[in-house]
Amino acid sequence: MKNIAIIGAGITGITTAYQLLERGYTVSVFDKNRYAAMETSFANGGQLSACNAEVWNSWSTIGKGIKWMLKKDAPLLFSPKLNFHKIGWLLSFISNIPNHKKNTILTAKMAIESRDELKRILQIEKINLDLEEKGIMHLCDNHDSLKEGRKVNKWLAEAGLNRKEVTLDEMLLIEPTLNLKNFVGGFYTKSDMSGDIHKFTKLLADACEKKGVEFYYETEITSVNHNKQQPIITFKKSNQLQKHNYDGIVICAGVNSKFIANALGDNVNIYPVKGYSITLLLNDTVSVNNAPYVSLLDDKAKIVASRLGKDRFRVAGTAEFNGYNKDIRADRINPLIKWCNELFPKVSTEHAIPWAGLRPMTPTMIPKVGSGKLPGIFYNTGHGHLGWTLSAFTSQQISDYIMRKDNYVK
């Protein structure tokens, strides 16, 4: 197995290309966009957060989804419109509630491994992604939230992560810009980081291209088939229909992975969960001096925030189960602006750039990493809201898996 194609030039696709290249494979990457990282990897919350590894499979999540169903600005918005895909995904999500603890520990372990691998890549490639190694702080507005957080802390500790409980005074020492009048305490993970996923992915793609990866940007894949020996990609580039055979294909296509998998006889149960962000341009000295550098996670609002260099502040959050549309809704953006105004009143929200993306979420909240039914078909997809956090590890995982399969065949 020498020639590998990757479908998708987001964070998982580009990190997979890098890992396969390091292992001596010839790699091609396909994407419909003109550049890398133009979909879900464009403007996420910026957090590399092992501390946020807790999976959502709980009766509490189900209860909140029902409670907030008709509340347009709720942190979790579940559209009542049902189809077979959504129903099947939900039933599988509920069936994984007993795996809440186990999958949280597994996710945290993957996140820790991923963080170490990302640092290795950064050391080699010297990529400037506006990295902030100042930790991540959870903000809790009530004592029940703190109690639940202590339980999760024990699970994270089992995975090898130190997330410590902090008082309001300690929180202000860590991040002096915070307005904590509505909070009772929180948790702080010093080892976690934040950075610009788009900058990293784009610059890593450039590094891959210099090392020989062939990129097919602005390319429409019309079909992915198999001739019983090799996968075949049929695609349209510059209005020319072409067909290439590969020894293997890795599907890193985000929410579209499900449809490619279906065509190949595989069931990859991914549902698109929309998230929103705003990027605040810090154009004045007061805003620059009063936007936090420590990355934040508001437990109640389900909002995260990360400083991206001197002049940008990213605020992101919400989860919307509403199909495959990427419409940017004012009633979903407004809570992000309101949150920033309340916590950081000296930071200007005048120049706020809104964005929405679709997170590819499996019902277990564990990524799909492995092979399909047909030889040479592989998957590295379904990372949900933790693509930035987990991709450096899962790209290693799938690349090592391909090498083992390759050596076994030989």
Name the average pLDDT for the chain: 96
Q: What DSSP state is assigned to residue 377?
A: E
Let me know: does 381 contact 12? Beta carbons within 8 Å.
Answer: yes
What does the DSSP assignment read for 257-316? HHHHHHHTT-----EEEEEEEEEEE--SHHHHHHS-SSEEEETTTTEEEEE-SSSEEEEE
What does the DSSP assignment read for 191-240? T-EE--HHHHHHHHHHHHHHTT-EEE-SEEEEEEEE-SSSEEEEEEETTE
Tokens 């341009």: give the residue: 281
d(CA 162, CA 178): 22
* CB atoms inside a 10 Å sphere around CB 283: 11
Among candidate residues 94, 61, 137, the one with its CA nearest the CA of residue 306: 137
Taking only Cα atoms into account, the Rg of the chain, rounded to an integer number of angstroms, comes to 21
pLDDT tens, 381-407? 999 999 999 999 999 999 999 999 876
Among candidate residues 217, 188, 21, 218, the one with its CA nearest the CA of residue 121: 21
Q: How far is CA 85 from the centre of its chain?
A: 22
d(CA 53, CA 365): 10
pLDDT mean over 46-66: 95
Contacts for 200 with CB less than 8 Å, ≥ 6 apart: 11, 127, 129
d(CA 377, CA 370): 9
Q: What is the pTM of this model?
A: 0.96
Please give the pLDDT value at position 410.
46
Q: How far is CA 38 from the centre of its chain?
A: 13
pLDDT tens, 129-172? 999 999 999 999 999 999 999 999 999 999 999 999 999 999 99
Reported confidence tier of residue 11, pLDDT bands at 50, 70, 90: very high
pLDDT tens, 177-199? 999 999 999 999 999 999 999 99
Q: What DSSP state is assigned to residue 132?
A: B
Helices (H), 73-164: 84-95, 100-125, 143-159
Structural domains in the chain, sorted by start = 3-409 (3.50.50.60)
Reported confidence tier of residue 99, pLDDT bands at 50, 70, 90: very high
Please give the pLDDT value at position 279.
98
d(CA 398, CA 388): 16
Tokens of 255: 């929410």
Tokens of 383: 């990372």
Q: With 90 as the cut, is the pLDDT of residue 358 above it? A: yes
Contacts for 60 with CB less than 8 Å, ≥ 6 apart: none
Let me know: does 76 contact 303? Beta carbons within 8 Å.
Answer: no
Among candidate residues 261, 129, 301, the one with its CA nearest the CA of residue 206: 129
